[in-house]
A and B are shown apart, each in its own frame.
Chain A
Amino acid sequence: MILYILANLLLLLIGLGIINLLDTKNVLTLVEKYVVGFILGIAVNSFLLFILGWAQIHMSTVKFVDIGILLILIFFNYRLDIWKRLIPSTFRMPKFTKQDLIIIPFLLLILFKVFFSFFNSVNVPSYFDDEKWNWNIKSKTIYNVGIISTVPTDEAYLGGGGHKGYPLNFILYKVYVADFMGVWDESYINLVTFIVFNLVILLVILSFPDRIFGIITGYLIYSIPLVVWHSGTAYYDLIYACFYLLSLMFFMRYIEKKDDIYLVLIGILLYSTIFTKNEGMILITPSIFL
């Protein structure tokens, strides 16, 4: 448990450090920084793993590279005296009115679905065919072999599995977590989908100025059929769609505030979209042409 938290904390801090350096005018909210920071941390780590694996260097090396990067980021954040931006300075309890009573049933339904998703993710080992044979088997193979096979005719090419060509973002993230924990434990390994999806939904809810409208929107997303299943299993269709949703959200922010940091965030999210699942290309191609 502690090792799992530490593994994720390392990635979060790397992502946060980079976002904080990029956000020179400090226009991003704290939640935006933390959510995109975590997504960026995963993407950076997976990219490093990809390079290491391709260079036939053992995967376990990456945590030392991560720690090195984190130390450099801490140095720059401290030197520029911007690290304080990452700590909440004030906290105000939201004021509740009688009108807010309307959101209670929606909030309860959201919480139920969050619990359902968490329960399945933690208690049930991989069950559906695709999550095992198209995704997790790639992570398991790379974790056990320690390097990425670069021979296209090899059964374990890019981790093997049913679709050898699937992108490696979350596959390599799982390799990293299993390596950090020293064991392949499915109750932790599969939790990433749940974490990322719920962080994205939280960001969507908080991005609405009207609290009631935000929570109803969050509920509508959560109540789309099959979302509760996809958010708790090793499927990444929902996750790359979430990245695309966030990139659209930040595009709206860019139109509103005209700060380049939003374009950087869109770049990070679109990169993560295509590095998560190959269908991401269908989503990002129009964005690139635009």
Chain B
Amino acid sequence: MQLAIKNGKISLPQTLPLDNFDFIGFVFFEPTITFSSIELRQENFSDKMAIFLEPELVKPSTINLLYGPKFGSTPFVAILGILAILFFGTLVFINRRWAFISLLVFWLLFDLRYSHDQYSVLKTTYSDFIVPNEPQKKIYYDFYNLYGFIEESKKYIEGSANFYAPREWPFNLNYGYHMYPINVTWQTIDKPYYAIFQMSNVELKNRKELFIDGKLIDPNVQLLYQFDEHSYILKKN
């Protein structure tokens, strides 16, 4: 299920039949989210259209998996498939040329909807990742501003670094790859540098004692660069 946040509202684009629910749970990786209200209602036609037009943006699975749009809870590809079989099955006995043209038209309809996703990806990538000049504001989907953090890290880190982020995947793999040949290890303490990305529970007491989750990680570090509110590059003294 994909969540879209628009104008402060979160909508569930691919809604399941509400009759089948006993509980609804939400999982967020962002540190703080407050719901001011939750509305549950049966979807009407305009809801179905909104769900249908909701673009599928970039996810780690995008390269291998196309979820595809849904009209209500029915996959669009299923609607097109049934229509294509009906049209082709009827027309093939009347005019073969038109039977194949009907297949092409249904393919085209599917692709136009798919192209709408691609256009949305182009637009979002351009406005959120290409246009901003500051590395902190270069947001790339679920990586948030990791690419900007990597660019800045390369300026300060030499040799090897301990890396901390909210989750190992996908941050550690990506940071490690893009920083190569700098050796990056996940949540270790033995390397000369600390790269801390989007950790809200980091404290630097007396400007030299590094605490994460209230636990002392290193008693003597030096802040080289603060990328944003929750991301730092530190060096061991």
Contact = CB atoms under 8 A, between A and B. Distances in A.
A137 B177 contact: yes
Nearest to B180: A140
Given A109-B111, A125-B178, A127-B58, A116 B118 contact: yes
B173 interface: yes
A38 interface: no
Given A120-B125, A124-B125, A235-B63, 14 more contacts: A112-B118, A116-B118, A119-B125, A125-B178, A127-B143, A127-B174, A130-B63, A132-B173, A140-B177, A140-B181, A216-B104, A223-B111, A225-B114, A226-B66
Contacts of A216: 104
Interface string B158-193: 000000000000100110011011000000000000
Interface of B: 58, 60, 62-64, 66, 104, 107-108, 111, 114-115, 118-119, 121-122, 125, 129-130, 140, 143, 147, 170, 173-174, 177-178, 180-181
Contacts of B62: 128, 229
9 contacts: A112-B118, A116-B122, A124-B125, A126-B177, A127-B140, A133-B177, A137-B180, A226-B64, A230-B63
A122 B65 CA distance: 22
Given A112-B118, A129-B170, A129-B173, A123 B111 contact: no
Q: Which of A112, A119, A127, A216 has the most CB of B within 10 A?
A: A127
Specify the main secondary structure of chain A where it touches its partner.
helix
Contacts of B140: 124, 127
Given A132-B177, A136-B177, A233-B63, A112 B115 contact: yes
A42 interface: no
A113 B119 CA distance: 9
Contacts of B122: 116, 119
B231 to A, nearest CB: 18
A287 interface: no
Interface of A: 105, 109, 112-113, 116, 119-120, 123-133, 136-137, 140-141, 144, 216, 220, 223, 225-226, 228-230, 233, 235
A137 B176 CA distance: 10
A125 B66 contact: no
A123 B181 CA distance: 22
A220 B107 CA distance: 9
A37 B104 CA distance: 34
Nearest to A105: B108
A141 B183 CA distance: 12
A249 to B, nearest CB: 22
A113 B122 CA distance: 11
Given A116-B118, A144-B181, A225-B114, A123 B130 contact: yes
A29 to B, nearest CB: 28
A229 B63 contact: yes
A230 B119 CA distance: 17
Contacts of A223: 107, 111, 114
B198 to A, nearest CB: 17
B118 A228 contact: yes
Nearest to A115: B122
Contacts of B111: 109, 223
Nearest to B66: A225
Contacts of B129: 123-124
A112 B66 CA distance: 19
Nearest to B150: A125
Contacts of B118: 112-113, 116, 228
Contacts of B173: 129, 132-133
B113 to A, nearest CB: 11
B204 to A, nearest CB: 30
Nearest to B64: A226
Contacts of B170: 129
Q: Which of B63, B119, B121 has the most CB of A within 10 A?
A: B63
A126 B115 CA distance: 22
A125 B175 CA distance: 12
A199 B165 CA distance: 41
A144 B177 CA distance: 13
